[in-house]
Structure 1
Amino acid sequence: MISLLVFLGIMKLPIKSGGEKNLRLTEQQEAVNMEQIEQTKQKERPPAPPRPQVPVAVPNDEVIIDEIPSINAELNINEAIELPLPPPPDQEGEENNEEEEDFFVVVEQMPILIGGIQSLQQKIKYPEMARKAGIEGRIIIQFIVNERGEVENPHIIRGIGGGCDEEALQVVQQAKFKPGLQRGRPVRVQYSLPIVFKLTG
């Protein structure tokens, strides 16, 4: 017990270091130099040129012989020469040419509608179906005015439907014109005429 108490007393006594000096520990830090790395771009290299094709030897055993045509240069003036037969007449082609040149598009004096467009508009009866549907607009009819001032082959270029096209065709077929003149004589002329359908009231 005594020895234990002595040991504890010794442990509680302050211990002083006699001649030891306070040592300062300074560590020398290494200087780190940061190098700036330049950013480089990868150069695009052009594609390699294609390899030239190696010529392949092809055996050519064929020999081309120039054929010299035999020309008979003898000409007998007294001999009659037989001409080739003319080609058969193309009936369809002739009809097409006649149809193409059958009328004029522009002449010196164009056809004139007798009574004017107002007289033609007054003859038009508005179709009941178009009236109920509220259809109105302009119809353009193209036809031929012959040498007698009559209307031939009328057809609709622009229609509006609702029975108006048929009514306009019927009225135009009855129209009379002063024929068109070319060099003072009446000719067939292509003509276009507008017919207007407009609801009133």
Structure 2
Amino acid sequence: MEAKKNPDVDLRKNSFFYLALGLALVTFLIWQGIEWTAYDKVAKQEAAEMLEDDEEEMIMTQQLQQPPPPPPPPAPEIIEVVEDEEEVEETVIESTETTEDEVIEEVEDVEVVEEEEVIEDVPFSIIEDAPIFPGCEKYSSKAERKKCMSEKVQKHVNRKFNTELASDLDLDGIQKIYVVFTIDKQGNITGVRSRAPHPRLAKEAEKVVKSLPRMKPGKQRGKTVKVTYNLPIVFKVQ
């Protein structure tokens, strides 16, 4: 025997309607949630903060402004005039015109004093008349005397220089020493300067050069002058 139900209380009769109504309600709520934002509140809050910052900047700007400096004091209206008590002598310009009665005196001859030409130290490489080393007088030409002097100076240094000094100083290889000296107007050796790898080598080179004999001074344009001489000393320590 089948159970009979009242068709008015059957819930399945309106189930599609309820489903459609529920979907429509949920869709409406989701749309409202998406459309709702808090832009107005955030914008108002940011605008309020910007106004506060502007007020602070305006206050700071007003505090940094300094008042303008006071105007300078006005110049005095009364100007005192100080009298100049010093007397200024006037320059009188005499006339240079001559008259018929004036006697013209003859001017004696004026002596012209020639200034002596000063010649500085001349390098040995360009000297006209090189200093003459003792023993080089036998040569007649200037070039031969110049060459003779260079050879004599080199022989003197090779004979007098203590080459064993470099070994005592634990130096090896090629040693180069540069010496500069001057032969003055009396033929003496002066102004000796040297540069070497060791101070003792430089001192030895100066001692040897100072022992050079007195020479006949050099000449430039027929006048006795000082002559500078550059002497390189090179030897090898074995």
Q: 1:56 to 1:116 in 2, by over 3 A?
A: farther
Q: 1:56 to 1:104 in 2, by over 3 A?
A: same
Encode CA deviations 1:76-96: one digit per residue, 9 max, x unaligned. x9xxxxxxxxxxxxxxxxxxx
- In the other structure, the counterpart of 1:168 is 205
Question: Is this contact kept in 2: 1:127–1:164, CA < 8 A?
Answer: no
Question: Is this contact kept in 2: 1:139–1:160, CA < 8 A?
Answer: yes
Instruction: Report SS of the residue matched to 2:13.
Output: coil
Aligned partners of 1:21 and 1:169: how far apart in 2?
130
- In the other structure, the counterpart of 2:14 is 20
Instruction: Report SS of the residue matched to 1:152.
Output: strand
The structural deviation recorded for 1:190 is 2.9
Q: Note if 1:190 corresponds to 2:233.
A: no
The structural deviation recorded for 1:60 is 5.0
- In the other structure, the counterpart of 2:90 is 73
- In the other structure, the counterpart of 1:36 is none
Instruction: Report SS of the residue matched to 1:20.
Output: helix
| Identity level (%) | 23
One-letter amino acid of the structure 2 residue matched with residue 104 of structure 1: D
Instruction: Report SS of the residue matched to 1:163.
Output: helix
Task: State TM-score, norm by structure 2.
Answer: 0.45
One-letter amino acid of the structure 1 residue matched with residue 208 of structure 2: V
Task: State TM-score, norm by structure 1.
Answer: 0.52
Q: Which residue among 107, 112, 115 is the counterpart of 2:151?
A: 115
Bigger proportion of residues as helix: 2
Aligned partners of 2:155 and 2:235: how far apart in 1?
14
Encode CA deviations 1:53-101: one digit per residue, 9 max, x unaligned. 54523265584645534113387x9xxxxxxxxxxxxxxxxxxxxxxx6
- In the other structure, the counterpart of 1:131 is 167
Gapped runs of 5+ residues in structure 1? 1-14, 33-47, 78-100
- In the other structure, the counterpart of 2:192 is 154
Q: Note if 1:56 corresponds to 2:50.
A: no
Q: CA RMSD in A?
A: 4.0
Q: 1:71 to 1:16 in 2, by over 3 A?
A: same
Question: Is this contact kept in 2: 1:104–1:188, CA < 8 A?
Answer: yes
Instruction: Report SS of the residue matched to 2:14.
Output: coil
One-letter amino acid of the structure 2 residue matched with residue 134 of structure 1: L
- In the other structure, the counterpart of 1:145 is 183
Aligned partners of 1:143 and 1:67: how far apart in 2?
69
Question: Is this contact kept in 1: 2:157–2:209, CA < 8 A?
Answer: no
Aligned partners of 1:70 and 1:172: how far apart in 2?
71
Q: Aligned residues, how many?
A: 144
